[in-house]
Amino acid sequence: MTAEDVGRRYGDYDIESFLGKGSIGKVYLARHRRIGRRVALKTVHLEQKFEDDEDRTEFYKRLQREAELCAQMQHPNVVTLYDVGYEDDFVSYLATEYIDGESLLARLRRTRPLPLAEALAIAFDVLRGLAYAHSKGIIHRDIKPANILLTAEGQAKIADFGVARPLNSSLTTTRSLVGTPNYMSPEQVKTTPVSPRSDLFSAGVVIFEMLTGTKPFASPDLSGILYNVVNLAPALANEINPEVPKSVGIVVDRLLAKKAEERYESAVEALADLDRASQNAEEIRPAADIETVFVADTVDTTTKHRRPVPAIWFWAITLILALSLTASVVGLRKRITKTETPTAVLTRAQVEEAMAKERALDVARTLAQSGRYEDALRNYDAYLLRYPQSIVARNERDTAARLFEESKPKAEITKTARKGKPQEAEAAPPVPPKPSSRWQRFKKWLRGK
């Protein structure tokens, strides 16, 4: 906060401290001098210049639109707008509800992935906020961690409706790319008309990131991100993080459907499905269904697709598992009949722990077998962090790391000798066998006798 900001006033608001820098200017913590209410004051201080009057007009229309849309909404999961300031008939500041907490972006920078219960609670709040906004005919169009604020109690609130738009709006006819690339829907990337289902896709990306700690469409460059949003089918969240129930992974996967009509019809429907899926979060989760295990199919150096395991392999593996399970049960019965009293009793918690360990290893093995070594290594590392004494997991991780290194393209030789190719090192002459001592020859003679 600079010296010129200290004691500065905007309308009826006195600046108390600097909160951060937004897309259109600075954000301050301010207090209304008459009623004492503290607000987050979003001021307009543009560093860049407008190319023409049309750009300037569109920018201020967007600010006015944000003010009008936010004024319509009063919901626990949407940041409340209290006041709007004007200068020469243009918006100069927005006074919104002050959230004494942090953004989801800041939270993810500290912890990736989030604990399951916390991630689900935030997901519920975001979907509730979207359900309310959509019921008012408002599409946010920029759902991302930076625009989700968390109170000190952990409640999530959707903020920044700066690029939001009412349904069937005709404020501008230009086909422009609006949103944040990693969280855009395929419709936004293609600059085609969007619907509330576009917000559901963006919410699915945010939920996926909270559950796995990774962005589903990440790429080193912008063109790669946009390509992935339109074409890449990411792995299920539960395949990346074994702590995520499969039922929750399926809900998130539907939110990320490429075609809008294949997603949930509304945020209310998605919320209901996620609620049902999360009911099983504390129960024993079954191992991943073999029919839904996918094998990586490399398209280029940054993009992977999935394809289902053929039916013939599914039934063959199922038969093998059934036979091995039968053999295990028979063997167990024989051991029980030989012993009148059990030597140890396993508690339910011990059984659940053993099953959870096996499931976690199965996920890592599946990823390694499908050639997704980086994902496999992350799963092995998470497993070893929890069970550092596991020799099996450590050996499998070492094998996966070796295969990962072998799968990398070998570096080309960029420097050669000045004259011809570098000569290969001459092979070392064979070392003659060391002559045996008299005692060794005597023992050999005795063995011959």
Where do the DSSP E strands lie in 105-215?
138-139, 148-150, 156-158, 165-166
Q: Which of 142, 160, 273, 375 is catalytic?
A: 142
Q: Cα–Cα distance between 84 and 96 in angstroms, integer?
A: 9
What contacts 210, CB < 8 A, 6 or more positions away? 104, 108, 113, 114, 118, 119, 122, 123
Q: Cα–Cα distance between 366 and 289 in angstroms, integer?
A: 12
Q: Cα–Cα distance between 349 and 378 in angstroms, integer?
A: 26
Three-state DSSP at 307 gives strand
Distances (CA, A) of 166 to 47, 68, 72, 395: 28, 10, 11, 56
Q: Cα–Cα distance between 262 and 285 in angstroms, integer?
A: 26
Q: Cα–Cα distance between 242 and 239 in angstroms, integer?
A: 6
What contacts 315, CB < 8 A, 6 or more positions away? none
Q: Which residue has the tokens 């990736």?
A: 112
Distances (CA, A) of 396 to 208, 247, 353, 372, 393: 27, 28, 20, 14, 5
H-helix segments, 145-195: 186-189
DSSP code, position 389: T
Region of residue 439 (phi > 0: left; psi between -120 and 50: alpha; otherwise: beta) = alpha
Burial class (CB in 10 A: 0-12, 13-18, 19+), 262: exposed
Q: Cα–Cα distance between 346 and 331 in angstroms, integer?
A: 18
Annotated active-site residue 142? The verdict is yes
- Directed axis angle between helix 391-407 and helix 373-386, to 10°? 160
In one-letter notation, the amino acid at residue 174 is: T
What does residue 211 show for φ and ψ, rounded to 5 degrees? Answer: -80, -30
**Residue numbers annotated as active site:** 142
